[in-house]
Structure 1
Amino acid sequence: MSATDDVRRHRLLYGCMGLGGDWDTQPYGARDIDAAEAAITAALDIGITGFDHADIYRYGKSEAVFGEVLARAPELRSRILLQTKCGIRLADDSGPGRYDLRGTQIVRSVEESLARLRTDVIDVLLLHRPDPLADPDDTAEALTSLHRQGLVRDFGVSNMAAAQIAQLQARLDRPLVANQLEMSLAQRAWVEAGVLVNTPESAATGFPLGTVEYCRANGIGLQAWGSLCRGRFTGAQETPTERTTAEHVAALAERKGTTPETILLWWIRRHPAGVTPVIGTARPDRIRACHDAASRAPELTHEEWYELWLSARGTALP
């Protein structure tokens, strides 16, 4: 099995951004570790074995509490895929919030993540955001060194367009295995960019046309962050269009004998690009509500998929 296949075999990934307590530099406590363990257990219970992190989540506390859970159950490490990201630096005494893909910073970030996660290897390292000041040769050299040292098995990117990925890939011997993007029924630019070609609305999507196609053509697995739409179609509706869509999602879930969360994830997974949703809720009950998305192939017809899209879109296709 290739590295890309190993990443893609996960129907869902669990996003650990909600673990670790508050978004501050205060220490985490036993309750935060217990909450993390409950969320991780819920994910494992529904068949999720891929866990997505970033060095900045909760100022590093998300990785740290995950590491505490691994310390409680060391046998778990061999059963899971552990993915983290680097490249975003939060505002601190040395500067403002910024992106940093300099080689020395990548290596430092990986070493710190390994320590917090209490593991000796990261399965997949994603570069979190493009850094316009990064030298791609320097970045690639750091990634190659990390792999040769056995500290990182595979690499990918996040929030990058096709040309940015190609520039990095040209300097690497190993294939990039993933690109993580915001993709959901609420954030549909990844779909709309392709169908709005040759229309006045095409420039408004903000999504780099050709990125999904590039990843598919080059065997780069697509991962969808924000896949549950932050509850906008499952209880946190703010607009008439969102309320109508939420009703549509709920009705479809009832017909299919599943949950609204599953419908949202099936909508993403139904796309032929083979997108892997990342679910980020820290609530065990909501994690378990995604069970059918982890265990069943998407059961949406061509027409049902379009009905959901048009409902969330609020207007007809061009």
Structure 2
Amino acid sequence: MRTIKLGTSTLDVPVVAVGCMRINSLDKTEAERFVQTALEEGANFFEHADIYGGGACEEIFAEAVHMSASVRENLILQSKCGIRPGMFDFSKEHILNSVDGILKRLNTEYLDVLLLHRPDTLVEPEEVAEAFDQLESSGKVRHFGVSNQNPMQIQLLKKSVKQPLVANQLQLSITNTTMISAGFNVNMENDPAVNRDGSILDFCRLNDMTIQPWSPFQYGFFEGVFLGNEKFPELNAKIDEVAAKYEVSNTTIAVAWLLRHPARMQPVIGTMNIERLKDCCKASEIYLTREEWYGIYRAAGNVLP
């Protein structure tokens, strides 16, 4: 598996992150086999959140990987916090308590990466800074980042937070390309020109923050997958054409399309299907041409100005 540096850190991470949001859909044997397959593929970066399965997903993962000190050395673990029922919470108390819960469920003494899950408009950056300082000094968290945040929200945090914010997890797929499309339609009176995120793509590139695309196969907001979907005949025909050229699956090409971007992204895949997991990992070996990348972009219904 090809690796990249996570943001400005010295941490080498595989270009595909294994999302564990649905690991609670597997029985014990299936979960063990899934995690082992990921490790065999070189995909040792496992992505969690304290709300997944109400915390059960972290516990299931720890059991499936047979967590121990020797096992932990070969894993890169990321989790997220900040979502509570009916609200978001970036208070110092909530962040610290959340991390303690995450560590207990994962049966580990530290997280490689902690992300703040969704923006909290009541955030007090000074409190976040205090929480991060305490987590870093205690050795409980080694690297920090955010999720679903725009440039100004990140800058607000950086006003007080001294640790580098190494990653930003954002919704991005071939059919959800607003952060890309706005850059093609600058100063134009059309829908793609609407800047919905403050030029977050360029901001992350300028600040060496790794973008972690979530839901890389979804269209809309969890409306379904676009691969093999009759709603996207032109897109699927184009993806299948490119897949045939490289002798890989359409799944591989969908991930390779994201990896082709020079922002050096790290897609978070959510499949619990072992064959699809392997197909996702194969994308690390594929480098699409500029013509192929743009052809897929346009086949998804995007129009170049």
Q: Is the 8 A contact 1:19 1:65 kept in 2?
A: yes
Specify the alignment match of 2:226 in structure 1. Answer: 233
Structure 2 runs not aligned, ≥5 long:
none
**Aligned AA (1:160):** Q
Q: Distance in 2 between matches of 1:256 and 1:2?
A: 28
Asked if 1:127 corresponds to 2:116, the answer is yes
Specify the alignment match of 1:84 in structure 2. Answer: 79
**Aligned AA (2:295):** E
Specify the alignment match of 2:304 in structure 1. Answer: 317
Specify the alignment match of 1:94 in structure 2. Answer: none
Q: 1:174 to 1:267 in 2, by over 3 A?
A: same
Specify the alignment match of 1:93 in structure 2. Answer: none
Specify the alignment match of 2:296 in structure 1. Answer: 308
Structure 1 stretch 262-271 or stretch 166-175: which is displaced more? 166-175
Specify the alignment match of 1:10 in structure 2. Answer: 14
TM-score (ref. length: structure 1): 0.87
Q: Is the 8 A contact 1:49 1:80 kept in 2?
A: yes
Specify which of 70, 78, 102 is matched with residue 113 of structure 1: 102
Q: 1:206 to 1:144 in 2, by over 3 A?
A: same
Q: Distance in 2 between matches of 1:238 and 1:106?
A: 43
**Aligned AA (2:299):** S
User: Once the 2 structures are TM-superposed, how far is the Cα of residue 174 of structure 1 from its aligned partner?
Assistant: 1.6
User: Once the 2 structures are TM-superposed, how far is the Cα of residue 156 of structure 1 from its aligned partner?
Assistant: 0.1
Specify the alignment match of 1:194 in structure 2. Answer: 183
**Aligned AA (1:317):** L
Specify the alignment match of 1:176 in structure 2. Answer: 165
Q: Distance in 2 between matches of 1:126 and 1:256?
A: 35
Structure 1 stretch 123-132 or stretch 8-17: which is displaced more? 8-17
Q: Is the 8 A contact 2:252 2:281 kept in 1?
A: yes
User: Once the 2 structures are TM-superposed, how far is the Cα of residue 166 of structure 1 from its aligned partner?
Assistant: 1.2
Aligned residues: 297
Structure 1 runs not aligned, ≥5 long:
22-30, 91-96
Runs of 4 or more consecutive aligned structure 1 residues displaced over 4 Å after TM superposition: 5-8, 202-206
User: Once the 2 structures are TM-superposed, how far is the Cα of residue 49 of structure 1 from its aligned partner?
Assistant: 1.2
RMSD: 2.0
Specify the alignment match of 1:273 in structure 2. Answer: 263
User: Once the 2 structures are TM-superposed, how far is the Cα of residue 246 of structure 1 from its aligned partner?
Assistant: 1.2
Q: 1:3 to 1:264 in 2, by over 3 A?
A: closer
**Aligned AA (1:269):** L
Asked if 1:60 corresponds to 2:47, the answer is no
Q: Distance in 1 between matches of 2:302 and 2:7?
A: 40
**Aligned AA (1:148):** S
Q: Distance in 1 between matches of 2:65 and 2:125?
A: 34
SS of residue matched to 2:66: helix
Q: 1:205 to 1:84 in 2, by over 3 A?
A: farther
TM-score (ref. length: structure 2): 0.91
Specify the alignment match of 1:25 in structure 2. Answer: none
User: Once the 2 structures are TM-superposed, how far is the Cα of residue 120 of structure 1 from its aligned partner?
Assistant: 0.4
Cα-to-partner distance string for 1:150-193 (whole Å, 9 max, x where unaligned): 11111000000011111112212221110010111021112112
- Identity among equivalent positions (%) equals 37
User: Once the 2 structures are TM-superposed, how far is the Cα of residue 63 of structure 1 from its aligned partner?
Assistant: 0.6
Cα-to-partner distance string for 1:36-91 (whole Å, 9 max, x where unaligned): 2222122222221111000001111111101112336653211111000001113x
Q: Is the 8 A contact 2:31 2:64 kept in 1?
A: yes
Q: Which has the higher helix share?
A: 1
Q: Distance in 2 between matches of 1:34 and 1:127?
A: 32
SS of residue matched to 2:120: coil
After superposition, residues 132-143 of structure 1 pair within 5 angstroms as 132-143=121-132
Q: 1:178 to 1:71 in 2, by over 3 A?
A: same
Q: Distance in 2 between matches of 1:315 and 1:176?
A: 31
Specify the alignment match of 2:46 in structure 1. Answer: 51
